[in-house]
Every structure is written in structure tokens, then in C-alpha cells.
């Protein structure tokens, strides 16, 4: 009869098998010269002032665990889990440290079997992993919420303080919901260019983005048409995989990636257009996340991905004519400004809207606290960052807040509601679409 190993022996065996840094190119650790110029750009360091909550400290922790000089205990895990993966440190770093290529695979390895997995709970399992990445499930789940909002029951529940009865993360999720627009029809599979055809593109519609911000997907398609683009919308596309991957669940993310490789006929389009910064950053990184026989196909898809502002700026925007005589401020979504290095293109597009005055936002590059699903899993830190962001927004005097990421839109809108600030928070493409159609924002 074969005996099972004792719990102590099994725990030791598991610990020996798991080294989160084992699969990381060690040279990436050595790129960091510990100058500390990144710390002032790191949102968690700005809030806590703890060296271990900054990029330099986290790189030191990861390298020490990789070298076997430090145990991956609860305290070390906590410092790494608190990272928003906003990659502002990459923008600040004079040595070109690729922090994302360190923290992302390290956290994936931290979630492997045999470790104390943060994601092994009901919220990750049922909400983040089995609901959010599936737009049809999301739309079904949002139907009751639309009725509740239409009947005004959401305001009554909030006024009576009944939301406090919900588990904290579920309460945070309910509070994140914006006023839901009426259900829009699905985009057709093909929309023709208006005027001379200049390009043929495919539109990535996303999961949460399409469920909550489908009007922005329609606006994106219309603006592309106005700029002479045939627009294809593949029916078999899937979630980009960021929700799983950034939570450390690599295999489901790889399956989503491969589904997208199959869905997009890359030889038939000039670009794959994305209007959500987090999705764009994930899609552009497909080529280096997994190393197997499908890697070349993922790299080919990644090479075609363009953020909508990046694409239109390069194509040459056909200037809209509708005047929007208002003051706006622009928040740099982390995965657009830091991960994709796209900062000036959205500003140049907004500058072409007649009458629109754009005021620079103090600390525009500092994360608003959304960071994908971070605002649901780390609500305390996320709330501190969103309050800081709102203070900066209010200081501009702008009534329009513009940002290129679904998570930022939700986070900033929630903070505005909680502080009683009457703002319209929108995607740059929403403003361009209004200008093309001669309409005004719903202030």
C-alpha cells in the first residue's frame, strides 16, 4: 500500500517546486540600478511612503525571492499584491526597466498550485472569472440593474444605507455601476467607409467594455467610418484575457488569446482597433506572455493592434465640424500612457474639436485606482487614489473628464457621484462622435 505524504512533507515539497522568479529572464532584474527615480511616480508608494510598496522595493523583493535569500511569506506577498501594475515606473525609469515583464509573470507564478492563492475565493471564481469576461453573461446580469435604476430603487437603497448589508467587494461592485444607458443593438459584422476608403480595420469590442459601454463601441465604429474606414466586427472574438492574467490565472488568459487569434482575419485588415487601454496593452503583449507553438500567431495579432487614438492620429483625422464650447480635462489611463506610451495622440485629436478647451490635469499620469479589477480587490487603496484624482479634477474647473479606458471611466464616475460632483466622464471617441454629428454632451 502506497502511503500519502504527510502534510508537512507535502508543504515542503510544494515550496521547493515553486520559485516565482524561475521563469523570468534574470537580466530584467539587473536592469534596475536602484536609483529611486521611480518611487515618486508609484501610486502605492505615494500613499504609503513604504519603500517595499514602490517599484525599487518590489524588484528587490522579487529578486531576493528568486535568489532564495527571502521567503515568499505573507508580508512579501502583500507588498507585491498591492501593486496596481500601472507601469508608471516604466515611464519614470531612466534605465529602461521593464517592470511589467517582472511583476506580471511573478504574480502568475505566485498563483500556481501549491501556493497560497489570492484568487482562490468566491469573488474571483464566480464574479471576476466567470462573469466579467463574458459579455452576454454581463448583459444578462445588468438587466435587473437597469430596471432598478429606472424605478429609482437604487437611490432609495443607498439613502437607507442598505448597501452596507452587502459583502464589501459586492458593495463596491454595486457602487461602481454608472447610470446604465438603454440597451443598444449589437454592432453589425461590417460597416462601410464614408467617402473614399482609406483603410480596412477590425474592431475589438471587449467584454465589460461592450456590456457597459456599447455606445462607445458604436461611436468608435461611426468615427472610423467618417474617417474612410471599412469596419469589420468579428463575431467569434473573446475577452482579451487581462482579467485572468493580471490576477495570476495564466491558462484561461492563454485560451482567450488563442480564441482571438482564430477570430481575426489579419491578412484582411490593416489594423485591429481597440478603444479600451487595458485591453490594448494586453493584446499588444500577447507575443511574450506564453512561449509555445502558437506564439508566432499571437505575435502577428499583437503587431496589428492599435489604440483608436493612436490609429486615427497616424491616419490623419478628418476634422469634425460640430462645435463643443466646453472645458474638458484629460486623464492618462495608465495602460495607454505608461504601458503603450500613447500620450499626445488623444490630446491632438481632442484639440481638433471646434470650441473645446482642454485644461491639463495635475498628476494626470497618476493612477485613478481602477487598474482593471484592482478597485474591487483592493478597495481601500483604490479609494484613496480616486479621491486624490477627483481633487485634481475639481481643481481644473472642467465639467468634462476624458479618458481612454473603461475602468477609469467607471472609477472616476463613481468618485464624482460619491462627492456630488456633476461631471460628464467620457471616452475621447465619444466627444469626437458628438462633434461629427453636431450634438452636445449630456451635461
Domain ranges of the chain: 7-110, 122-176, 190-313, 319-437
Pick the range with the lowest mean pLDDT from 287-291, 341-345, 405-409: 287-291
Nearest to 170 by CA among 396, 377, 428: 377
Gyration radius of the chain over CA positions: 22
Q: What is the pLDDT of residue 115?
A: 61
Asked whether 214 and 84 are in contact (CB, 8 A), the reply is no
Element (H, E) at 381: helix 379-396
Cα distances (Å, whole numbers) of residue 32 to 7, 193, 427: 39, 47, 35
Give the pTM. 0.90
* CA gap 177, 62 in Å, rounded: 36
Confidence of residue 373 (pLDDT cuts 50, 70, 90): confident
Q: Is 89 helix (H, G, I), strand (E, B) or coil?
A: helix
Q: What is the pLDDT of residue 117?
A: 66
- Using an 8 Å Cβ cutoff, are 254 and 233 in contact? no
Is 229 within 8 Å of 211 (Cβ atoms)? no
Q: Which of 120-134, 225-239, 281-295 has the lowest average pLDDT?
A: 120-134
Among the listed residues 420, 340, 413, 424, the one whose alpha carbon sits nearest the alpha carbon of residue 370: 413
Q: Is the pLDDT of residue 323 over 60?
A: yes
pLDDT of residue 7: 35
* Residue 164 reports pLDDT greater than 90: no
The CATH class, in words, for 190-313 is: alpha beta
Which residue has better confidence, 114 or 334? 334
Per DSSP, 181 falls in state P
Q: What's the CA gap between 211 and 132, in Å, rounded?
A: 9
Domains 7-110 and 319-437 share a fold: no
Name which residue leads in pLDDT, 62 or 172: 62
Could you tell me whether strands 327-330 and 305-307 are parallel, antiparallel, or unpaired per DSSP bridges?
unpaired
User: What mean pLDDT comes out for the span 232-239?
Assistant: 97
Mean pLDDT across 339-367 = 96
CATH code at 7-110? 1.10.1060.10
Residue position matching grid coordinates 479600451 = 276
Predicted local confidence at residue 210, as pLDDT: 93
Class of domain 319-437: alpha beta
Using the predicted structure, report yes or no on whether residue 2 has a pLDDT greater than 60: no
What value, to the nearest 5°, has the Cα angle with vertex 107 and ends 103 and 110? 145
Amino acid at each position: 500500500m502506497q502511503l500519502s505524504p504527510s502534510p508537512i512533507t507535502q508543504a515542503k515539497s510544494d515550496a521547493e517546486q515553486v520559485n516565482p522568479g524561475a521563469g523570468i529572464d534574470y537580466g530584467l532584474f539587473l536592469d534596475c540600478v536602484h536609483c529611486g527615480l521611480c518611487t515618486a511616480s508609484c501610486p502605492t508608494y505615494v500613499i504609503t511612503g513604504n519603500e517595499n510598496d514602490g517599484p525599487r522595493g518590489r524588484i528587490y523583493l522579487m529578486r531576493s525571492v528568486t535568489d532564495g535569500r527571502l521567503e515568499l511569506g505573507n508580508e512579501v506577498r502583500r507588498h507585491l499584491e498591492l501593486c496596481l501594475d500601472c507601469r508608471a515606473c516604466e515611464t519614470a525609469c531612466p534605465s529602461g526597466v521593464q517592470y511589467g515583464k517582472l511583476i506580471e509573470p511573478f504574480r502568475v507564478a505566485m498563483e500556481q498550485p501549491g501556493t497560497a492563492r489570492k484568487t482562490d475565493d468566491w469573488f474571483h471564481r464566480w464574479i471576476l472569472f466567470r462573469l466579467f469576461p463574458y459579455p452576454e453573461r454581463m448583459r444578462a446580469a445588468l438587466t435587473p440593474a437597469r430596471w432598478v435604476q429606472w424605478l429609482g430603487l437604487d437611490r432609495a437603497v443607498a439613502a437607507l444605507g442598505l448597501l452596507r448589508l452587502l459583502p464589501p467587494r459586492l458593495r463596491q461592485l454595486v457602487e461602481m455601476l454608472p447610470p446604465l444607458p438603454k440597451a443598444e443593438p449589437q454592432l453589425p459584422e461590417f460597416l462601410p467607409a464614408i467617402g473614399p476608403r482609406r483603410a480596412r480595420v477590425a474592431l475589438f469590442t471587449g467584454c465589460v467594455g461592450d456590456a457597459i459601454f456599447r455606445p462607445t463601441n458604436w461611436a468608435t465604429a461611426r468615427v472610423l467610418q467618417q474617417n474612410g474606414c471599412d469596419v469589420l466586427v468579428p463575431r467569434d472574438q473573446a475577452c482579451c484575457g487581462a482579467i485572468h492574467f493580471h490576477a495570476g490565472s495564466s491558462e484561461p488568459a492563454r485560451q482567450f488569446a488563442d480564441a482571438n487569434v482564430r477570430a481575426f482575419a489579419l491578412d484582411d485588415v490593416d489594423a485591429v482597433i481597440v478603444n479600451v487601454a487595458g485591453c490594448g496593452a494586453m493584446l499588444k503583449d500577447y507575443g511574450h506572455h506564453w512561449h509555445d507553438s502558437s506564439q508566432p500567431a499571437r505575435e502577428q495579432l499583437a503587431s496589428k493592434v492599435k489604440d483608436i487614438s493612436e490609429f486615427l492620429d497616424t491616419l490623419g483625422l478628418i476634422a469634425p465640424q460640430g462645435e463643443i464650447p466646453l472645458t474638458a480635462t484629460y486623464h492618462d489611463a495608465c495602460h495607454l500612457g505608461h504601458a503603450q506610451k500613447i500620450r499626445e495622440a488623444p490630446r491632438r485629436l481632442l484639440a481638433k474639436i471646434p470650441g473645446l478647451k482642454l485644461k491639463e490635469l495635475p498628476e494626470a499620469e497618476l493612477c485613478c485606482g481602477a487598474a482593471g479589477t484592482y478597485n474591487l480587490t483592493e478597495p481601500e487603496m483604490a479609494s484613496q487614489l480616486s479621491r486624490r484624482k477627483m481633487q485634481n479634477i475639481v481643481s481644473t474647473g472642467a465639467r468634462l473628464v476624458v479618458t481612454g479606458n473603461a475602468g477609469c471611466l467607471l472609477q472616476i464616475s463613481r468618485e464624482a457621484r460619491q462627492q456630488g460632483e456633476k461631471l460628464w466622464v467620457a471616452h475621447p471617441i465619444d466627444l469626437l462622435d458628438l462633434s461629427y454629428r453636431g450634438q452636445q454632451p449630456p451635461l
